[in-house]
Chain A
Amino acid sequence: MSQATEAGPATARPARLPPTTDDGFVGWLRKNLFSSIGNSITTIVVVAFLVWLITWFVDWALLHATFRAETGKDCAKSSGACWALIGEKFRYIFFGSFPYEQHWRPLFAIITMIAMLLLSSDRRMWNWRLAVIWPVGSFITFLLMFGQIHIPVTLIFLVALIAGLGGFLLRRDVADQGERVAYMALMAIGAVYLVLRILGVLPGLAIPIAPFSYVETGLWGGLAVTMILATYGLAFAFPYGILLALGRRSNLPLIRGLCVGFIELIRGVPLISLLIMASLMLPLFLPSGMNFDKFLRAQVAVILFAGAYIAEIVRGGLQSLPKGQFEAADAMGLNYVQKTVFIVLPQALRVVIPPLINTFIGFFKDTSLVLIIGIFDFLSTSNQALVDPLWTGYPGEVYLFAAAVYFFFCFSMSRYSKYLERELNKGTQR
């Protein structure tokens, strides 16, 4: 700075390094931490506190911790953490009351779900591959969890009908003759079978796949339950929410009214009340002896609830699109489905990624509410571990452990959201 007042062009002089007190580590310290007396005092106090906190934590969590013990009593001899409790209980916390010797099944189910989620987080998979990954992944997950699955033949034909219908609507104008015939054939086969099945001409058959012993949902617990509720809750709620959002902006008053009514009704009540309705009221309304699986009821409640919230987020994205986009799509001669799938949604969803992931993270944690209807999710099994009278008095360890697991999942989602924002906004970032 002082050079500026001296004579002569700046380039003629050799550039000098800044004073060492302004540069490097010392300089950084001076500038950021000790720039004034007040700041210096704050720095010293905060550093002292952090050092105290970290020493205390290391001392508690590592140096004086007990890693092996028969019961909680043995932990009491030392002042530190009782990690032996986690060692004793982690299998219960992760897998709940699933038969002990078969814990590998929920373990691999969790791994399958994580793999499925990781694969579908890659943009290169965002095409027909998703339609392979999810059915295959879900099939493996539920086969491991249930042990036995009976696939109704009706379902296969229903899928054929939907696939044919979807393909026909989306690719009507671009597909060649053969492809169109294929779609129509799929639709026709599906429709004919379903009609005959409804009329009772064909018997209801199922294909049994039963490699393991059957484990009912009442025995599921722990992380597997949390992950299934969250993953499938959101996987179904997402398309459902998009449909609701589109319906809310529809020109047809009936559809619009239904969607608005549903969204406002669901958003107007807490998730707990929906869960209690599903678990307390529904069984009383159903005919005696007829009972839906409790887990399924909770899953449906989560889907309905998440769907309403996602719908409002997606609607925000739809509204941010300039009208010209819609008009341009109309001018190109695209029909409603094509316009929505190829023009509107890709742009609208890109805008709403941060709030969407925010909702996902929220719902991942909200699934712990299912405890109130007697389903043992990850947090409930952690709580259950605390009740054991042989291992009492160490809630901190268990909650820290549970928090670490929750943090792992939520932080991963948050990082992924960041990455996705960067990826999808490349076009607008020049």
Chain B
Amino acid sequence: MLKQTLAAAAGIVALAGVSGVAHAGPDLDAIKARGHIICGVGTGLAGFELADSQGKWTGLDVDLCRGVAAALFGDAEKVKYVPTTAQQRFTALQSKEVDLLSRTTTWTLTRDTQLGFDFTGVNYYDGQGFMVAKKLGVKSAKELNGATVCVSPGTTTELNLADYFRANKMSFKPVVIEKVDEIRQAFFSGRCDVYTTDASGLYATRAANAPKPDDYIILPEIISKEPLGPVVRHGDNQWADIVRWTHYAMLEAEEYGITSKNVDEMLKSDNPVIKRILGVTPGMGKALGVDEKWVYNIVKQVGNYGEIFERNIGAQTPLKIERGLNALWTKGGLQYAPPIR
């Protein structure tokens, strides 16, 4: 009893003046006892988290939750989704309403420390970009001198925009509009030449709101860093490990060419790395505290990172997002997983 009290007190001191909530107990036990994970998603962003016509959640972030469930329970369907708004998401995680957040949340220092969270990785490297109408004939953001730019107020987006234009000795006329819907309307009705926000948002807006998506292009320049990734609470490192390595497993699977289609044949592979990854040579699952077939389950039921990317936001979808920064490190991108060994 005294030990528990001390532990709780230590937890409170560790988070003193920050979240106001102590998390001493292991979340993993609670999740295992419950039999499913509770995943905080967004309230609807095409390609990332979206309820389809049947009411099933789909998207890049949703597939991460499914992957975690596959690793932990061997069943990707053992997830309950809680839609959270941007304001409400951190409280939902702090108050244990959700086990993890997977909803396009930018990894920053204060969120990682002060709020009492751990970011377990980056499942989408985003950054601020520019969208223009094709008929302007602009090919690069460097040609935007004197442009009218639609931007929302009070965000880092607005500051990044000003910094970028100043650094490149260009001028611009900002059109500052509070509501996202109104910004979109202003841009597509031609009130401004350029619309700037996170590139993923630009792609989604183009696919979802443009009268003719093919009339608009997203310029190649990305002017800020917005690493989006899953978040868990401080206090249960094993749970954080499982979430972290779920993402890495998806990357490793892609790197070694393991897909949901060929994973059964891959079980017979002679490659020692693949044998380790798929649990043919046991040890990895035990180390992580899950079933030895955890990667097999993830890949079989959800897919590798490349498959997930292409299925939800890739070139074949209406969003048409290129891999870019999110390509594997072997292909010039930033997605790099530590070895599973």
Q: Which residues of A contact B (CB under 8 A)?
A: 88-89, 91-92, 95-100, 216, 218-219, 221, 276, 279-280, 283-284, 286, 288-289, 291, 294, 371-376, 380-381, 383-390, 392-393
B82 engages A372 (CB within 8 Å): no
Question: Is B271's CB within 8 Å of the partner chain A?
Answer: no
Chain A min CB distance to B82 (Å): 6
What residues of chain A lie closer than 8 Å to B237, measured between beta carbons?
A: none
B87 engages A280 (CB within 8 Å): yes
Candidates B25, B85, B95, B317; contact of A374 at CB < 8 Å: B85
A291 engages B95 (CB within 8 Å): yes
B208 engages A387 (CB within 8 Å): yes
A389 engages B319 (CB within 8 Å): yes
Interface SS majority for chain A: helix
B88 engages A280 (CB within 8 Å): yes
Query: Looking across the interface, which residue of chain B has its beta carbon closest to that of A371?
Result: B43
Q: Give the top 7 A-B pairs by smallest Cβ distance, nearest first.
A: A283-B95, A97-B55, A389-B318, A374-B83, A392-B208, A389-B46, A387-B44
Chain B min CB distance to A74 (Å): 13
The segment from B15-23, B141-149, B159-167, B275-283 found at the interface with A is B15-23
What residues of chain A lie closer than 8 Å to B306, measured between beta carbons?
A: none
What residues of chain A lie closer than 8 Å to B51, measured between beta carbons?
A: 92, 96-97, 376, 381, 384
Q: B228-263: which residues lie under 8 A (CB-CB) from chain A?
A: none
A374 engages B318 (CB within 8 Å): no
A384 engages B50 (CB within 8 Å): yes
Please judge, given known A-B contacts A218-B80, A373-B88, A383-B44, whether A390 and B208 are in contact too, CB under 8 Å.
no
Query: Looking across the interface, which residue of chain A has its beta carbon closest to that of B47?
Result: A389
Question: Is B288's CB within 8 Å of the partner chain A?
Answer: no
**Given A387-B44, A387-B204, A392-B207, 7 additional A-B pairs, CB 8 A:** A92-B52, A216-B80, A284-B19, A288-B22, A289-B25, A387-B208, A388-B53
Chain A min CB distance to B195 (Å): 16
What residues of chain B lie closer than 8 Å to A380, measured between beta carbons?
A: 43
Question: Is B57's CB within 8 Å of the partner chain A?
Answer: yes
Candidates A88, A284, A383; contact of B53 at CB < 8 Å: A88
B88 engages A279 (CB within 8 Å): yes
A393 engages B209 (CB within 8 Å): yes
A387 engages B50 (CB within 8 Å): yes
- Interchain CA distance A99-B56 in the complex, whole Å: 8
Please judge, given known A-B contacts A279-B88, A280-B87, A393-B209, whether A92 and B95 are in contact too, CB under 8 Å.
no
Question: Is B96's CB within 8 Å of the partner chain A?
Answer: yes
What residues of chain B lie closer than 8 Å to A376, measured between beta carbons?
A: 43, 51, 83
- Interchain CA distance A95-B82 in the complex, whole Å: 16
Q: B1-56: which residues lie under 8 A (CB-CB) from chain A?
A: 19-23, 25, 43-47, 50-56
28 contacts between A and B (CB under 8 A): A91-B54, A91-B55, A92-B51, A96-B55, A97-B51, A100-B54, A218-B80, A219-B55, A279-B88, A279-B91, A280-B91, A284-B91, A288-B96, A291-B96, A294-B82, A374-B82, A374-B84, A376-B83, A380-B43, A383-B44, A384-B50, A384-B51, A385-B53, A387-B204, A387-B208, A388-B52, A388-B53, A389-B317
